[in-house]
Amino acid sequence: MKFQRVFGTLPKTQASAPGRVNLLGEHTDYNEGFVIPTAIPQRATVQIGLSNDHKHHFYSAEFDELINFSDDDTIPQTFVSYICGCIGLVEKEGYKVPPLNLYITSNVPIGVGLSSSAALEIATLRGLRTLLNLPLDDVRLAQIAQLAEIRYVGFNCGILDQMAASLGDTNSMLFIDTRSLNRRKLRFPKNTEILVLDSDETHKPAGSLYNQRRVECEAAAQMLGVKALRDIEDSQAVEVLPQPLRKRARYIVTENNRVIEAFKPLPAKVFGQLMNDSHTSLRDDYELSVPSVDTLVEILQETPGVFGARLTGGGFGGACVALIESEKASSIATEAIARYQSAGYTGRVLVPPAIAF
């Protein structure tokens, strides 16, 4: 069903935003550290028109669901909460949002760690910016989207996903200092591309384990007398901490150092090794992985043409990202998925979408 079929009028504007895959710097954002995501080709798109009653009407093409919503209603915990969050926070910035007809479609895979929610938030905010002529820049959109997620969805996330969706593109990697929000586009290592496979293990970033890691990191920073773990450069400094804080802080400090290392142009092999080291420490120190993901990462790391691989996103399941030789995505994916299947699991290609099978 198209916009006109659902709402009986034409949209006034359309906007979209991509999902992201994070290459290095996992869970460093809420430690005020460094990250290197890139946008993926899949996008969320919203078309927006004006509603002719006093209610908002939100339609999701993926769920084939229409939700009518007025400002006094309780916000349902569905895709609508992201949109209500964006609208509510734009109003808090002082801009009146009229009742809307909003049509959403997205091909960003949901629930695998590729930020389908940030794509939806940024697409919505871009649409509102155009519709209402709002003087909000791309960084401000990311900050509003992050707050929408924290206040309206209840997921206490960092700003990685929203910055990547708002400022990233598929042709470069986006280095971000999540404390200052300074950023720089970096080139991919020569003759490389990104392959993302789904481990088919449900990922639960919003779960209590994500929040538990946040609390552990904050406790470690406090014991070390710093504002955030980003302020520790020497990984030896964490050795005074009790367990498990020592392991958690070791991961964050070494991960930040890996991201800083990757700020300079590196050969593919060296960048790939940083990704492999990242996975090892995520698994052993941050304890963020699960056996199926470890199996898939190991298979990828052993496959010819792969420079490096790791789990990506919130963790505890979801997608794995690999840096691979250009134009080998199809053969590498076929081989890795066949081996993953022999190990008893089911995998699928998420990026590049052209070879998703």
Interface positions with ligand GLA (CB under 6 A): 22, 26-27, 29-30, 157-158, 160-161, 205, 313-314
Here the contacts of 219-224 (C-beta below 8 Å, separation 24 or greater) are 219/245, 220/245, 220/246, 220/248, 220/249, 220/252, 221/31, 221/249, 224/249
Nearest Cα to Cα of residue 162 among 173, 180, 149, 153: 149
Residue closer to ligand GLA by CB (options 21, 224) is: 21
Distance CA 133, CA 142 (A): 17
Nearer to ligand GLA, 69 or 286 (CB): 286
Can you say whether the dihedral through the CA atoms of 143, 146, 152, 157 is positive or negative? Answer: negative
Residue 260, amino acid: I
Q: How far is the CB of 160 from ligand GLA (least distance, A)?
A: 4
Nearer to ligand GLA, 22 or 38 (CB): 22
Question: Is 138 annotated in the active site?
Answer: no
Q: By the 8 A CB rule, do 313 and 205 touch? A: yes
Catalytic pick among 161, 198, 284, 294: 161
- For residue 120, the minimal CB distance to ligand GLA (Å) is 13
**Shortest distance in whole angstroms from residue 202 CB to ligand GLA:** 15
Cis peptide before 18 (omega within 30 of 0): no
Q: Using DSSP, state whether 271 is helix, strand or coil.
A: helix
Distance, in Å, from the CA atom of 263 to the CA atom of 259, rounded to the nearest integer, reads: 6
**Considering beta carbons, is residue 205 or 272 the nearer one to ligand GLA?**
205
Shortest separation between residue 19's beta carbon and ligand GLA, angstroms? 11
- List active site positions: 161
